[in-house]
C-alpha cells in the first residue's frame, strides 16, 4: 500500500492505495465520483478526462499515486455554487450529448481546449477534441456546444 | 389586470433535453456506478484460441488467492444454466454461456471468477490455466462453406447455419420457387450489372461497455438485475426462464445506458452467468466489460457478402434484380442473429419499381465473435447493395445517377405499395426527397466544382444514394417478443403527471419527447411531467428500444394511454363545471368550458377531486390512471436521399469527406433538435463504416482489431459539417404520423460515400471499391494496381 494525499474538487483527500490502482478507479470507487467514466483500456476514448493542476489528462492512464500532491477537478467539481460551468451550459443548449457516457470527459477536454484557445474555429475544435470519442452525436452538436461556451 | 400565462405547444419544437442536467454534471447512474453492500466482482477467463478442445482447466491457483470467493468452470456453470436461448425460429447449435468442452471463437468464456474487487478477480482469471487441443479455424465465409478445414458444429455440415432461403418474385410463402418472372426480366435486359460486394464486419462500440449487477435475495426469493441493455423487459423474461424464477420474481433495471446501437438487444452469457452466480452464492455480483473484452464478447454487426445482378434497359429502366447473400454470423446464433440478414432481403426492393427480384440467403458459421443487430441491422446492407448497383448502372449508361433513380421511383400515388419482397411501404415521396437533396447540395454546382478540381489534377468525386428503411417495428406477427409497446399515464393527486414507457431509452431523449407530447395533450407545463422507464418494477410491460421504434410505437402507446386518462379527467371536470365533457379544453394548466375562459378550473384541483370524489359522478371510479398497448398494423418506412463529395489524396490515397448532405423523411417530428442528433450519429456510424471501420481477423482466427489502438472509431476531425434538410411525409400507421429516425443515417451514407470514391477514381477505370476506403487500397488503384 502507498500513501496518497491530493486535492479533489477542492477537498483534501488522503488514502492508502495499492500502487497499481488507476486514478480513474480511485476517483470512481474510493471517492465515489462516478461521473468520470471509463470507456476503454488503451487511453483512446477520453471518457475519463479530468483536469490535473490545470491541464487535462486521461485518468485511466495515471496511477493514483502519481497524482499525489496535485489538484484535480472532475466533472462533479465543474459547477460552482449550483451554477453550471459555461461548457456544461453549452452542451445542454446545443444538444451536445445523447447517451451521456462520453460527456463528462468531453466537457473536461473542451474546457481544456478553451483554456488554450479562447476562440477556436470549428476545425480547431474538431482537432482539439479528437482525443475523445463520441459514438452518438456525430460530433456536430458537440462542436456547436463548445462554440456556445466560447461565446459565439 | 392579471395576464393568463399561455403555455406554448411543444410538439415540433426544439426543446432542450430534460435528461441533460444530470448527465452534464456527472450525476447519471450507469451500471458500473452501482455499488451494493457485500457486492463481489466477476471476471471471465476467456479462450485465447479461436477453435480448440479444452483438455484441462486448472483453477487451483485462482481459488487459493486472497479475496477470491468462488471459481466456476464451464461444466459447473452448465449444472446451473441450460443452453443459451435464441429468439428466432432458425435451427441453432448447442451453445453454452461458458464453454464446456470446445471453444469456437477467441474470447469465448471458459471459466468464471468471483472476487472482492475487479483487480483481484482479473488476477485470479489470469491465474487459471487452460490447455487446449487446437483445432483448425475458419474465418473466411466462402472457405467455411466448403466444410474445410473444419466443421464448427457437427450438426451443421459445411458450416451452413441456414442453408439457402429464397425470397422475392415467384417465391411462395411455403418456399416454392417459380423462376419465370425473374428469368424473363433478365432475358429482356439490354444491360446487366454484376458485382460482388462485401459489407464488412463492424464492432458496435457503444461508449459504455456492457455491464451487469445481479442481486438475488434468498429470503424473498427474488432477483434484481441491472444491466446496460436496450430492453429490460426482454431481459426479465429471459433471466426468469433461465433461472427458473417467475417473471414476477425478477426485476430488471436498465439504469442510465451509455448507447446500444443494437448490440445491447441481445441477452448475453455474462447476464445469465451473473444471475445464476448470485442465486448460487446469495450475494450481489457485478461484471463490467472492459473495451478489449467488448471487442470479442459483444456481438459484431454486418459481415454480409452479396453477389448482385441488376438487369435494365439502356434507357435506364430497371427490369430485375438478383441478390445472392451470404452472411458470416460467427460461431453461434445469438438472440436475433439469424434474422438480421432477412431484413436485407426484405428491403432489396429499395425505392424502385422493380418488376422482378430474387434474393437468396445463406448463413455461415465461422470461428469469430457472433453477429447480431448493429444500427440499421440488415437495412444498410440492402441499401448499400442496391444503391451501389444503381450507381454502377448509371456509370455504364453514362446517366446522371439522380436521373436514373428518378426514372425508377415508386410514385407517391402508388402507396401503400406492396413490394416484391413482401413489405407494404406505408407512404413515400421519393422524388421530393431527391429534389430536396439536389437543391440543398446544389448538385449541378457540385458537378462544376468537381470538374474544376479535376482540371487541377485533384481526385474529387460525388456520390448520391436513396434509401428506404423499415422502422417502427412492428406487428406482433413479425417479432417473437410481440411488436407492441406499452405505456401507463397517471395524473397524480397534485395535478402532476407520471408516465411509464416500455421503450427503454439509451440516449434517444424519450424523457423529453414523451414529456412534450403529454404537456400538449394535457395543457400543463413540461416541468410537471415525469417519464419513467427502464425498470420492470415500475414499468409494467414493455418490449424495448430498437428498430427505430420508440416514437412510432412507444410514443403512440403513450398518446393512447394519455387519451384514455384525459377522457376520464374530462368527466370529472364536466361534473365540477356542470358542462358536457365534450365541451372542455385543457390548456394553460386549466380545464375550461370552450369559449368561456372564466369557467376555468385549475388542472390540479380537478385532479384532487378525482382522488377525493365527493360526490362521485355516476359511473366513474376514483383516480386518474390508465394504460395502453399499441399494436401497429404495419411497420413504417422512412426514406431519404444523401449526397456526398469526397477527395482522395493522389500521393497517399487518403480520402477526405468534403461534404455530406442528407435529406431524411421520418414523418412528423416531435423534437427536430433530437432528430438532427439522431441523424448526425447515424451518419457518423455510416461514414465510419465507409471510411475507417473494419473488424479484421487473421487466418488463425485471432482478432487483429481488438482495441481502440487498432479499430478506428471516427473522430470529430474526420467529418465536415453535415447539412440536413427534412421532408415530411406522415405515416398512416400511427396517429402521430411519426416514422422513426434512429438508424436512417447509417443507410444512405455508405453507398453515397463509396460511389463518391469510385467517381473520384473514375479516371483509373475502377467500378467498385469494397469498404472500408483504406488509403492503401485507394493508393493501389491510383498506382494502377488491383482494386
Cross-chain residue pair B713–A98, CB shorter than 8 Å = no
Q: What is the pLDDT of residues B593-651, one digit of tens each?
A: 999 999 999 999 999 999 999 999 999 999 999 999 999 999 999 999 999 999 999 99
A59 in contact with B at a CB cutoff of 8 Å? no
- Are B651 and B516 part of one and the same domain? no
- Are B715 and B727 part of one and the same domain? yes
Domain of B243: which CATH number? 3.90.1170.50
- Cell digits of residue A102: 462520453
- Are A68 and A96 part of one and the same domain? no
pLDDT at B193 over 90: yes
Residue-level pLDDT at B471 = 95
Instruction: With beta carbons less than 8 A apart as the criterion, state whether B546 and B339 touch.
Output: no
Q: How many domains, chain A? A: 2
Question: Does the ipTM surpass 0.85?
Answer: yes
Q: What is the pLDDT of residues B279-300, one digit of tens each?
A: 999 999 999 999 999 999 999 9
Q: What is the pLDDT of residues B437-480, one digit of tens each?
A: 999 999 999 999 999 999 999 999 999 999 999 999 989 998 88
B28 in contact with A at a CB cutoff of 8 Å? yes
B417 in a structural domain: yes
Burial class from Cβ neighbours inside 10 Å (0-12, 13-18, 19+) for residue B451 reads exposed
- Are A62 and A123 part of one and the same domain? no
Confidence of residue B570 (pLDDT cuts 50, 70, 90): very high
- Are A67 and A125 part of one and the same domain? no
Among candidates B22, B256, B291 on the partner chain, residue whose Cβ is nearest the Cβ of A40: B291
A58 in contact with B at a CB cutoff of 8 Å? no
Cross-chain residue pair B119–A20, CB shorter than 8 Å = yes
Q: What is the pLDDT of residues B385-402, one digit of tens each?
A: 999 999 999 999 999 999
Q: How many domains, chain B? A: 3
Residue-level pLDDT at B194 = 98
Task: Looking at B229-378, list the stretches that DSSP marks H as alpha helix, in order from N- to C-terminal side.
Answer: 232-243, 269-281, 291-297, 340-346
Cross-chain residue pair A134–B508, CB shorter than 8 Å = no
Mean pLDDT value across chain B = 97
- Are B670 and B765 part of one and the same domain? yes
Cell 476545425: give the residue: A123
Domain boundary among A77, A110, A132: A77
- Are A107 and A139 part of one and the same domain? yes
Confidence of residue A2 (pLDDT cuts 50, 70, 90): very high
- Are B649 and B712 part of one and the same domain? yes
- Are A126 and A144 part of one and the same domain? yes
- Are A8 and A73 part of one and the same domain? yes
B14 in a structural domain: no
Q: Which domain holds residue A66?
A: 2-77
Domain of B664: which CATH number? 3.30.365.10
B48 in a structural domain: yes
Residue-level pLDDT at A3 = 96
- Are B588 and B644 part of one and the same domain? no
- Cell digits of residue B464: 448520391
B32 in contact with A at a CB cutoff of 8 Å? yes
Average pLDDT over residues A86-106: 98
Interatomic CA distance for residues A125 and A127, integer angstroms: 5
Domain boundary among A54, A77, A100: A77
Domain of A95: which CATH number? 1.10.150.120
Cell 461548457: give the residue: A87
- Are B65 and B212 part of one and the same domain? yes
B302 in a structural domain: no
Q: What is the pLDDT of residues B103-126, one digit of tens each?
A: 999 999 999 999 999 999 999 999
pLDDT > 90: what percent of chain B?
Answer: 98
Confidence of residue B5 (pLDDT cuts 50, 70, 90): low
Interatomic CA distance for residues B749 and B728, integer angstroms: 20
The beta strand positions in B366-496, using DSSP E, are 417-418, 424-425, 459-468, 485-491
- Are B580 and B449 part of one and the same domain? no
- Are B427 and B455 part of one and the same domain? yes
- Are A20 and A38 part of one and the same domain? yes
> CB-based contacts of A34: which residues, under 8 Å, 6+ apart?
A28, B26, B29, B30, B32, B33
Q: Are strands B40-46 and A11-17 parallel, antiparallel or unpaired?
A: unpaired
Region label for A105, one of left (φ > 0), alpha (ψ between -120 and 50) or beta (otherwise):
alpha
pLDDT at B99 over 70: yes
- Are B88 and B227 part of one and the same domain? yes
- Are B643 and B604 part of one and the same domain? no
Confidence of residue A152 (pLDDT cuts 50, 70, 90): low
Give me the DSSP letters along B724-753.
EEE-----SSSTT-B---SSHHHHHHHHHH
pLDDT at B787 over 70: no
B505 in a structural domain: yes
Among candidates A36, A125, A134 on the partner chain, residue whose Cβ is nearest the Cβ of B207: A134
DSSP-assigned letter for residue A50: E
- Are B697 and B733 part of one and the same domain? yes
Domain boundary among B583, B605, B630: B630
Residue-level pLDDT at B219 = 95
pLDDT > 70: what percent of chain A?
Answer: 99
The residues facing B40 across adjacent strands are: B285
pLDDT at B92 over 70: yes
Residue-level pLDDT at B478 = 87
- Are A106 and A49 part of one and the same domain? no
- Are B576 and B684 part of one and the same domain? no
- Are A23 and A68 part of one and the same domain? yes
Q: Which domain holds residue B287?
A: 34-135+207-259+264-297
Domain boundary among B593, B614, B630: B630
Amino acid at each position: 500500500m502507498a500513501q496518497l494525499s491530493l486535492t479533489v474538487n477542492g477537498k483534501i483527500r488522503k488514502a492508502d492505495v495499492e500502487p497499481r490502482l488507476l486514478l480513474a478507479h480511485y476517483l470512481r470507487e474510493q471517492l465515489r465520483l462516478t461521473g468520470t467514466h471509463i470507456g476503454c483500456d488503451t487511453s483512446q476514448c477520453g471518457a475519463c478526462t479530468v483536469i490535473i493542476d490545470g491541464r487535462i489528462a486521461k485518468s485511466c492512464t495515471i496511477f493514483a499515486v502519481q497524482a499525489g500532491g496535485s489538484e484535480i477537478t472532475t466533472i462533479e467539481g465543474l459547477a460552482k455554487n449550483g451554477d453550471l460551468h459555461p461548457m456544461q451550459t453549452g452542451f445542454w443548449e446545443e444538444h451536445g450529448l445523447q447517451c451521456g457516457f462520453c460527456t463528462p470527459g468531453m466537457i473536461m477536454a473542451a474546457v481544456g481546449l478553451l483554456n488554450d484557445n479562447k476562440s477556436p474555429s470549428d476545425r480547431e475544435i474538431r482537432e482539439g477534441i479528437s482525443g475523445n470519442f463520441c459514438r452518438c452525436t456525430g460530433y456536430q452538436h458537440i462542436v456547436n456546444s463548445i462554440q456556445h461556451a466560447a461565446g459565439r | 389586470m392579471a395576464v393568463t400565462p399561455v403555455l406554448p405547444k411543444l410538439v415540433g419544437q426544439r426543446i432542450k433535453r430534460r435528461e441533460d442536467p444530470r448527465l452534464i454534471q456527472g450525476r447519471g447512474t450507469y451500471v458500473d456506478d452501482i455499488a451494493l453492500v457485500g457486492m463481489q466482482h466477476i471476471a471471465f477467463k476467456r479462450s485465447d484460441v479461436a477453435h480448440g478442445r479444452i483438455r484441462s482447466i486448472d483453477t487451483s491457483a485462482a481459488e487459493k488467492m486472497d479475496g477470491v470467493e468462488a471459481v466456476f468452470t464451464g461444466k459447473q456453470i452448465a449444472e446451473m444454466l441450460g443452453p443459451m436461448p435464441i429468439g428466432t425460429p432458425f435451427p441453432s447449435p448447442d451453445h453454452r454461456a461458458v464453454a464446456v468442452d470446445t471453444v469456437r471463437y477467441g474470447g469465448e468464456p471458459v471459466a468464471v471468477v468471483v472476487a472482492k474487487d475487479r483487480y483481484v478477480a482479473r488476477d485470479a482469471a489470469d491465474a487459471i490455466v487452460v490447455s487446449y487441443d487446437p483445432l483448425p479455424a475458419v474465418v473466411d465465409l466462402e472457405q467455411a462453406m466448403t466444410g474445410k478445414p473444419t466443421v464448427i458444429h457437427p450438426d451443421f455440415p459445411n458450416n451452413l447455419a441456414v442453408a439457402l432461403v429464397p425470397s422475392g418474385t415467384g417465391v411462395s410463402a411455403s418456399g416454392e420457387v417459380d423462376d419465370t418472372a425473374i428469368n424473363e426480366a433478365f432475358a429482356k435486359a439490354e444491360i446487366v450489372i454484376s458485382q460482388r460486394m462485401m459489407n464488412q464486419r463492424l464492432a458496435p462500440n457503444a461508449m459504455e461497455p456492457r455491464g451487469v449487477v445481479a442481486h438475488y435475495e434468498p429470503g424473498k426469493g427474488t432477483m434484481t438485475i441491472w444491466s446496460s441493455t436496450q430492453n429490460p423487459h426482454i431481459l426479465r423474461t429471459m433471466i426468469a426462464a433461465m433461472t427458473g424464477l417467475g417473471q414476477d420474481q425478477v426485476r430488471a433495471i436498465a439504469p442510465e445506458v451509455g448507447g446500444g446501437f443494437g448490440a445491447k438487444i441481445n441477452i448475453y452469457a455474462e447476464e445469465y452467468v451473473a444471475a445464476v452466480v448470485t442465486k448460487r452464492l446469495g450475494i450481489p455480483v457485478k461484471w463490467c466489460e472492459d473495451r478489449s473484452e467488448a471487442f470479442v464478447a459483444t456481438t459484431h454487426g454486418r459481415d454480409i457478402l452479396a453477389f448482385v445482378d441488376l438487369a435494365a434497359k439502356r434507357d435506364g429502366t430497371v427490369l430485375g434484380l438478383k441478390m445472392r447473400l451470404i452472411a458470416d454470423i460467427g460461431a453461434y446464433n445469438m438472440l436475433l442473429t439469424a434474422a438480421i440478414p432477412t431484413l436485407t432481403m426484405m428491403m432489396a426492393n429499395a425505392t424502385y419499381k422493380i418488376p422482378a427480384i430474387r434474393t437468396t440467403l445463406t448463413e455461415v458459421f465461422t470461428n469469430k465473435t457472433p453477429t447480431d443487430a448493429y444500427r440499421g441491422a440488415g437495412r444498410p446492407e440492402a441499401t448499400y447493395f442496391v444503391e451501389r448497383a444503381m450507381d454502377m448502372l448509371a456509370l455504364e449508361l453514362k446517366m446522371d445517377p439522380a436521373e436514373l433513380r428518378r426514372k425508377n421511383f415508386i410514385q407517391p400515388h402508388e402507396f401503400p405499395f406492396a413490394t416484391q419482397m413482401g413489405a407494404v411501404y406505408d407512404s413515400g415521396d421519393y422524388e421530393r426527397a431527391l429534389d430536396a437533396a439536389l437543391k440543398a447540395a446544389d448538385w449541378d454546382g457540385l458537378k462544376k466544382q468537381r470538374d474544376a478540381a479535376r482540371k487541377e489534377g485533384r481526385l474529387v468525386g460525388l456520390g448520391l444514394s436513396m434509401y428506404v428503411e423499415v422502422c417502427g417495428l412492428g406487428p406482433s406477427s413479425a417479432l417473437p417478443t410481440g411488436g407492441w409497446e406499452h405505456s401507463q399515464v397517471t395524473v397524480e393527486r397534485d395535478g402532476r403527471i407520471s408516465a411509464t414507457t416500455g421503450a427503454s431509452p439509451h440516449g434517444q431523449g424519450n424523457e423529453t419527447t414523451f414529456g412534450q407530447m403529454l404537456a400538449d395533450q394535457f395543457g400543463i407545463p413540461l416541468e410537471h411531467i415525469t417519464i419513467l422507464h427502464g425498470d420492470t418494477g415500475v414499468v409494467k410491460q414493455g418490449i424495448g428500444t430498437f428498430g427505430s421504434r420508440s416514437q412510432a410505437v412507444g410514443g403512440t402507446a403513450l398518446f393512447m394511454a394519455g387519451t384514455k386518462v384525459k377522457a376520464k379527467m374530462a368527466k370529472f371536470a364536466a361534473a365540477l363545471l356542470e358542462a358536457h365533457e365534450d365541451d372542455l379544453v385543457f390548456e394553460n394548466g386549466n380545464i375550461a368550458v370552450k369559449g368561456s375562459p372564466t369557467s376555468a378550473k385549475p388542472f390540479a384541483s380537478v385532479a384532487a377531486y378525482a382522488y377525493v370524489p365527493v360526490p362521485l359522478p355516476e359511473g366513474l371510479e376514483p383516480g386518474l390512471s390508465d394504460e395502453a398497448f399499441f399494436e401497429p398494423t404495419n411497420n413504417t418506412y422512412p426514406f431519404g436521399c444523401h449526397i456526398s463529395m469526397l477527395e482522395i489524396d493522389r500521393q497517399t490515397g487518403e480520402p477526405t469527406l468534403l461534404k455530406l448532405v442528407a435529406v431524411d423523411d421520418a414523418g412528423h417530428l416531435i423534437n427536430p433538435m433530437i432528430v438532427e442528433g439522431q441523424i448526425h450519429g447515424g451518419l457518423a456510424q455510416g461514414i465510419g463504416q465507409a471510411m475507417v471501420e473494419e473488424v479484421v481477423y487473421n487466418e488463425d482466427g485471432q482478432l487483429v482489431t481488438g482495441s481502440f489502438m487498432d479499430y478506428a472509431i471516427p473522430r470529430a476531425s474526420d467529418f465536415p459539417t453535415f447539412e440536413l434538410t427534412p421532408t415530411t411525409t406522415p405515416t398512416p400507421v400511427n396517429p402521430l404520423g411519426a416514422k422513426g429516425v434512429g438508424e436512417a443515417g447509417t443507410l444512405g451514407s455508405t453507398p453515397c460515400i463509396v460511389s463518391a470514391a469510385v467517381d473520384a477514381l473514375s479516371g483509373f477505370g475502377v467500378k467498385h471499391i469494397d469498404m472500408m476506403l483504406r488509403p492503401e487500397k485507394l493508393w493501389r488503384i491510383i498506382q494502377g494496381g488491383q482494386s
